[in-house]
Amino acid sequence: VQLKESGGGLVQSGGSLRLSCRIDGIRISVYTMGWYRQAPGKEREMVATVTNDTVLIYADSVKGRFTISGDSATAYLQMNRLKSEDTAVYYCNLKSEALLLDSRPLDAWGQGTLVTVFS
């Protein structure tokens, strides 16, 4: 299973970016797809997740500004009205309790894409 993020970059405060995540090597029907981020000096945090039955969860800090979409093949994160505190490396994640790899539920991560928001 390989996840590859793209779409990060440098953007002015108030601007928008759309992150994409391509998922290769697997197709599953029961999953949770998510975007996480890690800012310098901070722990990784959940940004948004969506399940195969479209249950959505957003971090309070991004509600109303970010939108997650996609499926187990491709995921997107539309980020609007970006703020400097959104600066972080953004990671794509795919989880599934229905699929075991090496006797463990699937929990795959991409390598991340950097988003930098300047004022």
Residue 27 has pLDDT above 90, yes or no: no
Report pLDDT digits (tens) over 69-99: 998 899 999 999 999 999 999 999 999 988 8
Q: Tell me what the mean pLDDT of segment 21-48 comes to.
A: 95
* pLDDT in the model for residue 38: 98
Closest to 93 (Cα-Cα) out of 42, 38, 23, 29: 23
- Distance, in Å, from the CA atom of 106 to the CA atom of 97, rounded to the nearest integer, reads 6
- For the chain, what is the radius of gyration of the CA atoms? 14
DSSP state for residue 29 in the 8-state scheme: S
What is the residue whose two structure tokens read 């970006």? 82
